Structure 1
Amino acid sequence: MENKKPDNVVYTVEAGYNANVLPYATGVGAPVIRVDDVVSWKSRGIDNVNKELGNKFNELKLQYEKLMQEYEWNELVYSAKFSFEPVIGEIYHLYRDAEGVNFLSLIGPNEWNKEHIGTFKLNSDKKWILLNVVDSQLY
């Protein structure tokens, strides 16, 4: 019975009485050691990250769609028939003739009776900027 110590005394044969060097409380009056519930913290973190990544994905998707539209309009204008060198900063109009061939002109849509596809401006990067479109189904 001499070797038996009470439950509230921290004692080991190897270390002796070592309650003052332990990283946790050992007395009966010490606060309770509780393991934090990190599952809810993790799930909130995962939700926040998923929302942020989803928003970035949607933003990139919109940018991609806009880029593809710009590409398609530029391809349409550059494949159109014109016999002049377009000037940067000028406004041009894209038309479709009776045979279905697209052509570029300086003449505005209200000055003659041709099938108007859209109005474009050539920027310094030689990219056609769409200013307005009559019907987006035409291209």
Structure 2
Amino acid sequence: MKNEKPDNIVFSDQEGYNASLLPYATNVGAPAIKTEDVVAWKTRGIHQVNKEFENKFNELKQHYKNLMEEYEWNDMVYNAKFSFEPVIGEIYHLYTADDGVNFLSLIGPTEWNKEHIATFKLNSDKKWIKLEPNERVTQNSKFW
């Protein structure tokens, strides 16, 4: 019983009485050391991060879809028949001929009776930008 110390005494065989050197309180009246419940915090964090990843993934998926659509339209126009060199900034119309071949023309869809596919504008990167019907009016308007 000589080697036994009371519970409220901090004693180590290597360090001796070292209560004043410890980074935590050691006396009986000191506040209890409690570990925080971080499960709820982790759950909220995981949910928030997963939502962010899901949103980013959906943005990338939409961007990919738009890029593929642009590629398909450009492929269609570049494979169409035309016998002129398109001018950057001009508006062109893609049609289907009676024999089923696509061709590019300056003639607007209201000026003749051909099967109109879409209207495009050639940008400075030589990329064909598909114009929506409401954009055609503003693009064709001349402001003097």
TM-score (normalizing by structure 1): 0.89
Where 1:36 maps in the other structure, the secondary structure is coil
Distance 1:79 1:14 in 2: 86
Deviation at 1:97, TM superposition (A): 1.2
| Cα separation, 1, equivalents of 2:13 and 2:122 | 88
Equivalent in the alignment of 2:57: 57
1:41 aligns with 2:41: yes
The Cα of 1:61 is off from its aligned counterpart by 0.7
Q: Structure 2 matches for 1:12-51, cutoff 5 A?
A: 12-51=12-51
**1:118 maps to 2:113:** no
- Summarize deviations over 1:57-108 as a string: whole Å, max 9, x none: 1111111000000000000001111111100000000001111111100000
Q: Which amino acid is 1:81 matched to?
A: K
Moved segments of 4+, more than 6 Å: none
CA distance in 2, matches of 1:37, 1:103: 69
Report the AA paired with residue 51 of structure 1: K
- Distance of 1:83 and 1:55 partners within structure 2: 45
Higher helix share: 2
Which segments of 5 or more consecutive residues in structure 1 lack a partner in the other structure?
134-139
AA partner of residue 100 (structure 2): G
Distance (Å, rounded) in 2 between the aligned partners of 1:6 and 1:66: 75
SS in 2 for 1:118: strand
Give 1:131's aligned residue: 131
Count of aligned pairs between the two proteins: 133
Q: Identity of paired residues, percent?
A: 71
